[in-house]
Every structure is written in C-alpha cells, then in structure tokens.
Amino acid sequence: MNTTTRLSGLTLTLPLALALCGAMACSSGSSSSDQDAPPAGCQRTLCDFEHDSCQNPAPADDCSSCWDECDTISPDLAAECASTCDGICQSEANQPVLDPCGDELTACRNTPDNAICVDDIGQPAPDGTPCNDTASRVSCQCAAESNDACETAIYAANPACQQCDDDGWFSACMSGTCLNEYADVQSCFSHYACTTIDECVQCATPVKTWEDCINAATIDPSDPGGCNSGSHTCWTQPYCNADGTSSS
C-alpha cells in the first residue's frame, strides 16, 4: 500500500518552503449518484467545510473608479467625464452577480466529497486521540486536493488537534532522522538563494529524497526519532494513501 504520513495535517512537504495552491477538486462536478449523498442525519459535509474557506473575488468597481478620476480632471472636461461614468456605471449595474464559491459548492454536491460528513470533526476520538477519524479522513482528502485553506479549517474546528501537532513531535522527528538528506536540501536552497520549493525547482530532487526519508521513518516500526509514535499520538489514522483516503 502506498502511504505517506500526515505531518501537521498535510501530506509531507518541506515545512518552511511550500505554498500550496487552494484549488478545490469539487469545482469539477459529475453526475449525481447515491454515492454522493450525505449520510442520514448529517448536517454538514466536506463540501460545506471547503465552502467555508472559499472566498469570492471582490467585484470590479469601475464605476467608483471613474468618478474618482473625474474629481481629478479639468472642470472643462467634467461633463464629458460624467457622461462616460454614467455609461460605465449603468453597464456595471447590469452585470450578473458572480458567485464562483456558490458554483463550486453546487458542483461539489455531485461528487464523493458530499458523502463525507464532518459534523464531529471538532471532537476527540473515543480513546481521547485529538484528531479523530473524520479529521484524519478530511485531512488526507484536503491534502490530495492541495487545499491548504481546508487544512487550516480543520485546526480551527479542532484546536486540540492543532495543539497536538504543534507540541513538537515533528520537530523531534526531523532532528532525529534524515539529517544528511535535510542538509542537502538546505545546501541546495542556499546555493540558489531561495526559500520556497516554487522558487527552487532546481532542488526538487533533494527535496524528494528528504521527503521519502521522513515518510519512511514515520512508518518504520523501530520508530526512529519518534516519527511513528509521534504521528499516532495526534491522529487516529495518521497515514494518507495515494487516493486521498486515510489509514492507521
């Protein structure tokens, strides 16, 4: 089984380097089916959860900009400017109101994301583990969709889950294993004078080598650096599979 660990809620990437895009896989819908229906009694699904973190772009306000410009021109041109602004404002008023976030939510209702209920995402697991099965499943799905806003929302809904991840097990894991691989990454970043993986595409190979090393440590039964046990203390299902599902 192809798995990666969940580190701070995300499938492993260079911690100080990566800026994930916020694209939502639910933006491309499919035909509705019973598999896309929420469980009976569910109030909120992953679609709603992702929608909460979606922000529509600010609408254009060319009308106000035009009048602001008129305030700065010669009085001799005021009448002509006012006429121009009237036309711009009328055209803008007739434009339909766009709601891309609403459109994405509607499309998401016809995807498997709508079958994932998130009602209990803020609750600890029955055994006290802060990040329960729902948080584990949603975290892996968000990571598979490269939706970092969704990941942030998990922690907002479940502060105890974030606190567990912030308590230092990942730092201990990093400091106890894969030191040579991490040094190679830092050396590459320093050589190319960059701070993010997007800036340092030349460093993709050492970054991948380091990621693979850390991922191997987190599923190693010998638990080097506390990488395996540390993850298990936070998440009931600490590993993200290639298909976006979670497992223990």
Instruction: List, for residues 106-145, the tens digit of each pLDDT value.
Output: 999 998 889 889 999 999 999 999 999 999 999 888 888 7
pLDDT at 6: 56
DSSP 44: -
Q: How does pLDDT run across 157-177, given as a tens digit for each residue?
A: 999 998 887 888 888 888 889
* Percentage of the chain lying above the pLDDT 90 cut: 33
DSSP H helices in 94-238: 100-108, 133-144, 148-157, 159-166, 169-176, 179-191, 204-218, 227-234
Give the SS3 label for residue 105. Answer: helix
DSSP 9: T
Q: In what order do the strands lie in the sheet with 10-11?
A: 10-11, 3-7, 239-241, 246-247
More confident residue, 19 or 73: 73
The CA angle 195-17-145, to the nearest 5 degrees, is 145
Question: What confidence tier does 4 reach under pLDDT thresholds 50, 70, 90?
Answer: low
Among 13-22, 197-206, 236-245, the minimum mean pLDDT is found in: 13-22
Q: Return the number of other C-beta atoms located less than 10 Å from residue 82's C-beta.
A: 13
pLDDT at 2: 45
Across the chain, mean pLDDT equals: 81
DSSP 96: P
Residue 7 has pLDDT above 60, yes or no: no
Q: Do 45 and 38 meet the contact criterion of CB atoms below 8 Å apart? A: yes
pLDDT at 244: 81
Q: How does pLDDT run across 220-242, given as a tens digit for each residue?
A: 889 999 988 888 888 899 888 87
